[in-house]
Amino acid sequence: MSQLLVRGGGLLRGETPVQGAKNSVLPILAATILTADQVELQNCPRLRDVDASVRILRELGCEAHWEGGTLLVDTAGLNGCGISDILMREMRSSAIFLGAILARCGQAELSYPGGCELGPRPIDLHLSGLRDLGAEIDDAGGTLHCRASRLQGREIVLSIPSVGATENLMLAACGAGGVTTIANAAREPEIVDLQAFLTACGGQVFGAGTSTVTVTGGRKLHGCTYTAMPDRIVAATYLCAAASAGGRVFLRGAEEGHLSTVTAVLREAGCEIRPDAQGLVCSCRGQRTAVRPVRTAPYPGFPTDAQAILMAALLRSRGATVFEENMFENRYRHVDELTRMGANIRVFGRTAVVSGVERLYGAPVRCTDLRGGAALCVAALAAEGETCVSETSHIARGYEDLARDLRALGAETSWVD
């Protein structure tokens, strides 16, 4: 397993393009099953989770191969409806294949998904929504046996705005008869991107980005060429890297409209962020200042995926910042590793208080999860000496090449075996 070495203490200066969005590409790859046709997915990042999705598609009898930064998928030859337990355990988003397989095949068999250990993330809303559409689901023994001779559209009200459940139901509804209305739907930009893909394939989906999504099902979908949106959490990571180390960076392709809550906090901390037609420019001079309490919430609130990254950017700020994590129970697993570098963080249940320190020091640390691993690299940029980040397989789930991108921004980073 590779380790990531980061030497801190220098200002960042440079530019890097922002990769395609992981959380957009994964449901789109599941949606290709509905087309029974060829799809050309451009700006698709080469990630561990994307590789897992490709292997799932191939296991189902589909074809997929890379041409540069484009992933070509042909699902016409799909000949299976089950996903092996090994592949399901590799990532949380594997559950998104359920709705698409069920809509196309009328049956599906898969186990419960894996992913980062961030606390309970049940797929009960996925299953109850699919049952509302007419699916029969037996989950005895840890395996989901699903059948639906005919899915029928109806109104579904989600108890919470779950991103995964919203996406799964959108896919299933494309294969259902009549109209499906998803109330209290998630509003994330990735939901909008999925709608745009389905529309490009001939689907009728409306309302993504609002709390009500409407799908008119029963339409034959076809393949298309589609470009995935930029990854807003990757963009947030590199903005926080600049805030941590100081300097001036340009993120080509970043869209501030997707991460306005993050840029608002960074401006409050003392960074200058300016959007232009090509991306975002971020300039950070002097010392950061503490900000008002940061509370994670469903979009358009502050994203839970950016909580650890922002925390790392504020470790040397003046004053104390309070973080309140409202999405996942175990989202502070990175705190112990940051304290090894000299950070002053106190955790009280779902609340963490970050008191700024004068210095951080390079240390051997390990990734606890995807975003926690990125946070360690952000903190290492402001630390004296060298930080060795181990267990980096988590980082590979969401960043195409974190060391490469940070080097493009002027950091001293390298992979070592």
Q: Which amino acid is at 40?
A: E
Task: Please name which of 258, 259, 255 lies closest in space to residue 277, comparing C-alpha atoms.
Answer: 255
SS3 108: strand
Task: Please name which of 113, 73, 118, 78 lies closest in space to residue 95, comparing C-alpha atoms.
Answer: 113
* Euclidean distance between CA atoms 231 and 22, whole angstroms: 7
Cα pseudo-dihedral 123, 124, 130, 135, rounded to 10:
110
Residues contacting residue 264 through CB under 8 Å, at least 6 positions apart: none
Q: Where are the alpha helices (DSSP H) in 150-188?
A: 163-174
Task: Please name which of 101, 16, 14 lies closest in space to residue 62, comparing C-alpha atoms.
Answer: 101
* Euclidean distance between CA atoms 374 and 308, whole angstroms: 8
* Euclidean distance between CA atoms 242 and 307, whole angstroms: 16
Across 277-411, where does the E strand assignment appear?
279-284, 294-295, 320-324, 344-348, 351-355, 364-366, 386-390
Task: Supply the Cα-derived Rg of the chain in whole angstroms.
Answer: 21
The question of whether 116 is a catalytic residue gets the answer yes
- Left (φ > 0), alpha (ψ -120 to 50) or beta: where does 266 sit? alpha
| Residue from 44, 62, 105, 116 carrying the catalytic annotation | 116
Q: Which pair of tokens denotes residue 346? A: 């106190």
Q: Longest Cα pair distance anywhere in the chain, in angstroms?
A: 64
- The CB density around residue 286, as the number of other CB atoms within 10 Å, is 8
Cis-peptide, bond into residue 300, ω within 30° of zero: yes
- Supply the residues annotated as catalytic: 116
